[in-house]
Amino acid sequence: MSEPLEAKRQEFRIYLRKIRSYEEALGVLYWDLRTGAPKKGADMRSEVIGSLSGEMFRLSVAPQMEEFLNYFEQSEIREQLSEVDRVIVRECRKEFDRSRKIPPERYEEYVVLTSQAETVWEEAKKKSDFAMFKPYLEKVVAFNREFIGLWGYEGHPYNTLLDMYEPGMTVDKLDRVFGELREKLVPLSAAIRERGDAPDTSMLRQTFDKDRQKQFSLMMLGQLGYDFDAGRLDESVHPFATGLNPGDVRITTRYLENDVVSALFGTIHECGHALYEQNISTDLYGTPLCTGTSMGIHESQSRFWENMIGRSRPFWQRYFPDLKKLYPEQLANADAESFYRAINVTKPSLIRIEADELTYNLHIMIRYELEKALFGGELAVEDLPRAWNAKYAEYLGIEPSNDGEGVLQDVHWSSGGFGYFPSYALGNMYAAQFMQAMRRELGDIDALVGEGRFAPIKDWLVDKIYRYGKLQTPGEIVSRVTGEELNPSYLIAYLEEKYRDIYKL
């Protein structure tokens, strides 16, 4: 690389680090807002977040950014760049072309709105009052429709939003893979209901001290390989992970006194996200590639650790005695097998984050179909509660008694996260496909889990997925790691084997 080119490359990296500095500062402010900032300061904090976001946005669409991109996209220059630098330029160009179509002042207004909307959502959820949240949600949806109009779309307007979270994903692809899941999983669920031999879950419906729940959650994070020198665990209304940088990846969970597993699996879920972010290659630090490649791949890790590891039989053969020591009275009549069956009971339920593995994808399909209709012009915001309840009656045979356990249960829409929900189901499919590849290469995964030896599993994921950050696309990662494109049959096989065993079908 010539000396002038290297100097230009270093100048570009410094510019990108400046943008990344704004992102990190905003991440800290957002984390604080969601984990205990005084309510009376929420509006002013939202203004600060909006102001800083506006400055960061202006840097990303400034003439200087365009100069950098034009320079590095010259064929004779591009040929001299490393793979990392070429992908950085590609990702910055994609973001630049999309962002510059939005006036900076509109973007700043949007950030302020979504920050305020999240705060209102928290209160509306507590009160089960959709009317309180509706004006904010209508504005958030209107902004997103405006942005889609500026960005443009192919096929369906919703495709543009999907691509932001899962590059290359479309309505047509989702309709196909969701259709395959529905075709196989609905009959399995029906067969289980007809069998009627449900595991006893009474042991889970007791009072469990929150401090001891936290103690067990912290222990599990350490066992799974979460680096506490590069993160921390806090409490919030809705569990989340915030990757400020690989040396500061914070997670939150939610403790419920009448539910010993909600916080545990919420913690393990967010740990999966954190392990990804904590183990990105140092070569990518300070660049736009120092993050997960997509939300689907990200969710594959949270769902893998939460369900395929954390809800497995060997996991509880190893760790149930530790949990029983914390709750000897509550779990006096339980053993590892009965606890394993209890935490994997499948039945129609209203709350997505507490749904079992088998019905979870139906929760996602409901949200996907509502979002698709919302941005396809077939559904208005004011009709969401009615449509939500109707979908739950159709798909799961149950209906929410209030909006808190219905349309208001998720934080995503308040933050403008339309297009995100399909990532969870995609993550389930990716996770099952990765697990199959892992078993081929590492052998007896169950034995490793049963011995509490998670390092080989984590190391495999670091080598195959985590260290690449955003250097490769979701499709490239799946094809390289598994030898084929996304294939829902692995998730179907995993769920059929697991639940036929649990319910003795």
Bridge-partner residues for 252, per DSSP? 234
Task: Give the tokens for residue 394.
Answer: 């159709």
Structure tokens at 269: 């879920």
402 — phi, psi (to 5°)? -155, 165
- Helix, strand and coil percent figures for the chain, each rounded to 5: 70, 5, 30
Cβ–Cβ under 8 Å, residues 119 and 46: yes
Q: Which of 423, 415, 419 is nearest to 273 (CA)?
A: 423
Query: Distance from CA of residue 236 to its chain's centroid?
Result: 16
CA distance 275 to 251: 11
Nearest C-alpha neighbor of 167 from the set 268, 52, 297, 64: 297
Q: Which of 270, 306, 369, 371 is catalytic?
A: 270
From the list 142, 132, 144, 9, the residue with the least C-alpha distance to 69 is: 9
The set of residues, in sequence order, having a beta carbon less than 8 Å from that of 240 and lying 6+ positions away, is 34, 251, 252, 270, 411
CA–CA dist 145, 156 (Å, integer): 12
Q: How far apart are CA 446 and CA 451, in angstroms?
A: 9
What gap in Å lies between CA 342 and CA 318, rounded to an integer? 16
One-letter-per-residue 3-state SS of 222-258: HHHCCCHHHCCEEECCCCCEEEEECCEEEEEECCECC
Q: Is 83 a catalytic residue?
A: no
Cα separation, 272 vs 258, in Å, equals 25
Q: Which of 470, 475, 463, 403 is nearest to 433 (CA)?
A: 475
Backbone angles phi, psi at 128, to 5 degrees: 55, 45
Look at residue 259 and give its three-state secondary structure: strand
**Closest Cα to residue 45, out of 29, 56, 34?**
29
**Catalytic positions, please?**
270
